[in-house]
Structure 1
Amino acid sequence: MDFEPFSLRVEPALETGAGRIEQREGYVVRTERAGVIGVGEATPLPGWTESRDECEAALDGVRDRANAGGTGEILDRVERATPAARHGVELAAVDAESRAAGEPLAAFLSESAPAGAVPVNATVGDGGIDATVRAAREAVEAGYEAIKIKVGARAPAVDANRIRAVRDVAGDAVELRADANGSLDERTAERLLDVAAELDFAYVEQPLPPDDLRGHAALRGRGVDIALDESLAALGPDAVLAAGAADVLVGKPMALGGPVRTLDVARRAAAENVATVVTTTVDAVVARVGALHVAAAIPEVPACGLATGSLLADDLAPDPAPVEGGTMSVPAGPGLAGDAFDELRRQ
């Protein structure tokens, strides 16, 4: 097993609750299984995962132990506190194993026939009403059938007008979602949910702070679903499910510790009638394609947050699964994408 660093520009820079994102810095991970080299990606994002230094230290430890005594069960040696490092190692391992088996990764991981394509949502930022309407119109014209609108940065009345305007532009056929990134208090969240329910929104994502599971549980049943994202990173999916705090989990493989772990979470959630939407942490192409395979392996997966490649000014390799008409087709070759990442597999 080995790894090497990379750095990619985010353009324009993103403002998030965890800070401004101008670069995505991570590691390409390679490991061998059954005589086949697999490739993975560890791209930490503080606020959702460990820091870059912690990620590198974890990968160093795995490499030293694996190279000293064979790969073995190296995934068991990656701490839960470093999910991005674990993601890189696990993705490389299952890429190698599915390539050795001659199967696309989605088929290798799935318990049933995986989807050949996955619908994805467009994301509209928290700009003023004119910018919001313009972005929503562009998304509809590009063929997206699901749009997520960022809310919470502006006054509640302004956000209400923004999401009403998006519904007018999108029409009734487009699924709408709102994402508050944990920025609301309970009273403001209740008002937003009432407006979102009136406008037939599918869900409101992370209305309250991440640690307020009781508050999120109390918000359910108001005519619009509650989706949780930051709460999974802060408290873990087990706590979220045990609290009955969500109708939808937003599963980020990079933050959950790998594709297999993410599918396990989705299956446990489904057993409790909780859906899972797969999203990225503004990852490079290897992890994005890995997340696409994870989404394809989830039966009847809703539109997912995988259309993030355009946020990067450059990438590790050409994208074998670009967004077309609001969907991403799953690469049909073995492993992640046949020979698309062969240059990255070479040491």
Structure 2
Amino acid sequence: MKATYHKYILNFKRPSGTSRGIMTEKETWFIILEKDSKRGIGECGILRGLSADDRPDYEAKLQWVCDNINLGENQLWEALIEFPSIQFGVEMAFQSLGSENPFLLFPSDFTNGKKSIEINGLVWMGEEAFMKQQIEEKLADGFKCVKLKIGAIDFDQELQLLRYIRQYFTPEQVEIRVDANGAFDTYLALYKLNQLSEFELHSIEQPIQKNNTDSMAELCKTTPIPIALDEELIGVFSLEEKEALLQKIKPQYIILKPSFIGGFRGTKEWILLAEKYNIGWWITSALESNIGLNAIAQWTFLQNNLMPQGLGTGALYINNFNCPLTVSQGQLWYKRELDWDFNFDL
């Protein structure tokens, strides 16, 4: 078996804002396997400044994987415990290589085009008018669940935007999720959650910065809005650490990004623990290209979670790869008649 790795820069159609700043491009890496004239591809979806494996030796570790590819998927996964995005890339590449079609990793009624996955519509941070425009577009597109990034503009303006949605749509008509990306000060968080509770939100992701576990546990106990942990899960590698974190914080939900938490195997560990402690969960992509998104979507369908999932469509980028994934009326579909546009000779 031969393995190679390749860097690829995804360019945003328009600058996209989070509480950590504005993004204009996104770096990603592909692992390509070749054996017996077949090829497989996996995406290592690192997000600089956030991923646990944003380290100076990242590329060297990719080279190590390619040099040691004959160790096999399981041994490599164990050796890559501190490199969750590479774990995911390795899992995906082996699954792709072992499939009849390198992009059809987990055949199901989803990949047959018979069933879809409900997803949330993502509203990016920006000026009030821009956020309002996005909200109107998502609702017009038939989304029943929208997720707003908050924490970058004035909080009163954000409350105004939520008030605007609720003026026209009841919680039964449109579910609203908000994601603070850790933007709230610890001492103000409960006050802000109480203000947000007026809008009957589904949940708030990561209201305060990760690693404030005492404060987060207290918030989860007293919050008027269900809290979902997101960044809090990054860098928690062992099963024992995962269980200890959930036992301590007792969140209402956890959000699972395979690129950040060790691929399918790491995600499955979190799911089993969440279900053990009656914690809700859903799966989210993390700005991967359509290669990674395709694998996440196919695997997510098999988990039988009927909540809206956080699976974007890759429509953010000008240089993504055409693929069978499409969105219609807030549902992600796999249209088999659409072809992939991907050149393995990157």
Using structure 2 for the length normalisation, give the TM-score: 0.84
Match of 1:226 in 2: 227
CA distance, structure 1, for counterparts of residue 307 and residue 7 of structure 2: 33
5 Å-filtered alignment, 1:155-304, equals 155-172=154-171, 173-220=173-220, 222-235=223-236, 237-304=242-309
Match of 1:139 in 2: 138
CA distance, structure 2, for counterparts of residue 273 and residue 25 of structure 1: 36
Match of 1:23 in 2: 25
Equivalent AA in structure 2 for residue 7 of structure 1: I
> Any conservation in 2 of the 1:277–1:303 contact (CA below 8 Å)?
yes
- Report how far residue 285 of structure 1 moved: 0.7
The more displaced of 279-288 and 305-314 is: 305-314
CA distance, structure 1, for counterparts of residue 140 and residue 92 of structure 2: 34
> Any conservation in 1 of the 2:293–2:311 contact (CA below 8 Å)?
yes
CA distance, structure 1, for counterparts of residue 164 and residue 188 of structure 2: 19
CA distance, structure 1, for counterparts of residue 60 and residue 202 of structure 2: 41
Could you tell me which of 38, 51, 61 is aligned with 2:54? 51
CA distance, structure 2, for counterparts of residue 100 and residue 272 of structure 1: 38
- Residue 306 (structure 1) aligned with residue 311 (structure 2): yes
CA distance, structure 2, for counterparts of residue 319 and residue 24 of structure 1: 19
CA distance, structure 1, for counterparts of residue 29 and residue 89 of structure 2: 8
Change (3 A) 1:7 1:72: closer
The more displaced of 83-92 and 4-13 is: 4-13
CA distance, structure 2, for counterparts of residue 18 and residue 126 of structure 1: 11
Q: Quote the sequence identity (%).
A: 22
Change (3 A) 1:219 1:248: same
- Report how far residue 262 of structure 1 moved: 1.5
Change (3 A) 1:70 1:146: same
Query: Which structure features the higher share of helix residues?
Result: 1
- Report how far residue 17 of structure 1 moved: 4.2
Change (3 A) 1:185 1:52: closer
Secondary structure, aligned partner of 1:21: strand
- Residue 318 (structure 1) aligned with residue 311 (structure 2): no
Match of 1:76 in 2: 77
- Report how far residue 21 of structure 1 moved: 2.5
The more displaced of 289-298 and 35-44 is: 35-44
Equivalent AA in structure 2 for residue 309 of structure 1: G
Please list the CA deviations of residues 179-202 of structure 1 after superposition, one character each: whole Å capped at 9, or x if unmatched: 111011234322332233332210
Match of 1:63 in 2: 66
Equivalent AA in structure 1 for residue 247 of structure 2: A
- Report how far residue 318 of structure 1 moved: 0.8
Please list the CA deviations of residues 157-197 of structure 1 after superposition, one character each: whole Å capped at 9, or x if unmatched: 33322221122244431110111110112343223322333
Please list the CA deviations of residues 69-102 of structure 1 after superposition, one character each: whole Å capped at 9, or x if unmatched: 4636442354222211221111111233354899
Equivalent AA in structure 2 for residue 292 of structure 1: A
CA distance, structure 1, for counterparts of residue 78 and residue 214 of structure 2: 34
CA distance, structure 2, for counterparts of residue 252 and residue 174 of structure 1: 24
Pairs aligned (count): 334
Please list the CA deviations of residues 292-316 of structure 1 after superposition, one character each: whole Å capped at 9, or x if unmatched: 123212222421221251211111x
Change (3 A) 1:297 1:254: same
- Report how far residue 340 of structure 1 moved: 3.5
> Can you give the 5+ residue segments of structure 2 that lack an aligned partner in the other structure?
none
CA distance, structure 1, for counterparts of residue 55 and residue 313 of structure 2: 21
CA distance, structure 2, for counterparts of residue 102 and residue 150 of structure 1: 31
CA distance, structure 2, for counterparts of residue 54 and residue 327 of structure 1: 39
RMSD: 3.1
- Report how far residue 239 of structure 1 moved: 4.5
> Any conservation in 2 of the 1:7–1:23 contact (CA below 8 Å)?
yes
Using structure 1 for the length normalisation, give the TM-score: 0.84
> Any conservation in 2 of the 1:285–1:319 contact (CA below 8 Å)?
yes
- Report how far residue 26 of structure 1 moved: 2.1
CA distance, structure 1, for counterparts of residue 34 and residue 66 of structure 2: 12
